[in-house]
Amino acid sequence: MKRLLNLQKLLNNKDFVYAITLLVIIGTISYLFFELSKAEVTVVQEGEETTVRTHANTVEDVLDELAIDVQKHDDLSHNLKDTITTEMTIEHTVANEVIVTEGSKQQTYYTTADTVGAFIEESGIEISEHDQVSLNLDKKIADQTDLTIQKAFQVTINDAGEKQTFWTVGGSVDELLVQSNIELSELDRVEPVQSEQVKAETVIDVTRVEKVTDIVEEDVDYAVVKESDADLEKGKEKVVTEGEKGVVEKHYEVVLENGEEVSRELVKEEVVKESKEKVVAVGTKTAAPKVTASASSSAASTSTTQQTVSRGSGEEVTTLYMHATAYNWNCASCDGRGLTSTGFDLKANPHGVVAVDPSVIPLGTKVWVEGYGYAIARDTGGAVKGNKIDVHMPTIQQAYGFGSRTVKVKIYK
């Protein structure tokens, strides 16, 4: 109660009230002066603006007040030690980490660039129009962006002698051919193999292969048949019928590489026109000798031995007994092409061919071999000398089965 009375007395004291009022006014003026003396600063970070009033002396002090940590690679519009002025705008851009992979090399960058394209330009990375970048150039940069750059190199494609150069960042031979719009046929060859990975300076060779059929007409010589003529004097000959050559059509499978022939194989023969034999009359007539009766009797008992025999058509035949063996074009010592010494294709025509000694049986001669049949002498052999003959069998097993034997051989002239 006593304290309340003392307070009442103070409030009734005009000097006391005046002093309190003066102190309030001074405090208010001081506060207003303090507030008005603050600088107004705008801080822009990541596109967001923050405006503060501060008594901070430097840019660094303002950023500390806002708990903004500026890293080494960040972009700041002012130096940290710059003095704060009113209405100052401080711009702070945080640097993003970008990991760039180029081949086997990987490098980390820090950038405040907005897009991939701006970053590449800022960092000085050289990119050609043929290089491949994993991200679009207008893509926004974010923290820890992974960017892969594949450098292009040149590869040469030699397509059937026509060379072209292409840019690529890698891949297989097959992928590059597809990218280059080069189509292959089933027979075409490619080197290196299509699964191989291309490298700088790789040369891809494309060989264009095609198979065509070549049809060739060849003349077939006619046979000459000699017939005995008792009305024609011995030693004289007379053409009874002129021979005519036949025509055979040979079908060859021809392999072309880049337009040039590399091989041909006879696959079929067709007789277009049969040959016509030439028939020649051989005189056998002899002048009647003037002899006595006894001489005539002696002549009647004499027989004549002929050197040739006739097959009814008058064709001359010589008969020999020869040592015969057999072979097949695919034997171990053969060259594997299946061609005789005269160029005849045994693979396509395995029947009716014999190898002979041309000094005994001329090449091209028709023969008949006991146990084999009719054939044409179209081949020779290093071991086929003299009175020997080697018959061709369709298989090696048949050749072994024929063995070695003495046979009768008829030679047609």
For the beta sheet containing 162-168, the strands, ordered from the edge strand earlier in sequence to the opposite edge, are 162-168, 153-159, 203-207, 189-191
The confidence score (pLDDT) of residue 59 equals 87
Contact 177, 227 (CB under 8 A): no
Q: What is the pLDDT of residue 293?
A: 39
User: Which tokens hold the place of 385?
Assistant: 């000398």
What's the Cα-to-Cα distance from 375 to each of 105, 138, 264, rounded to whole Å? 76, 84, 25
pLDDT of residue 291: 44
140: amino acid identity, one letter = K
Q: What is the pLDDT along the chain (413 residues), one digit of tens a residue?
A: 656 556 566 556 666 666 666 676 766 665 554 555 578 889 998 778 889 888 888 988 888 988 888 888 888 989 989 999 888 999 988 999 999 999 889 999 999 899 999 999 988 999 999 999 999 999 999 889 999 999 999 999 999 999 999 999 999 999 999 999 999 999 999 999 999 999 888 999 999 999 999 999 888 787 777 788 888 888 888 898 898 888 988 899 999 999 999 999 888 888 888 888 888 888 888 865 554 433 333 333 322 223 343 433 446 788 888 999 999 988 877 777 889 988 899 988 888 999 999 999 999 999 999 989 999 999 998 889 999 999 999 998 888 888 889 899 999 97
Q: In whole angstroms, what is the distance from residue 14 CA to residue 17 CA?
A: 5
Model pTM score: 0.48
Q: How far apart are CA 53 and CA 36, in angstroms?
A: 9
Q: Are strands 373-379 and 353-355 parallel, antiparallel or unpaired?
A: parallel
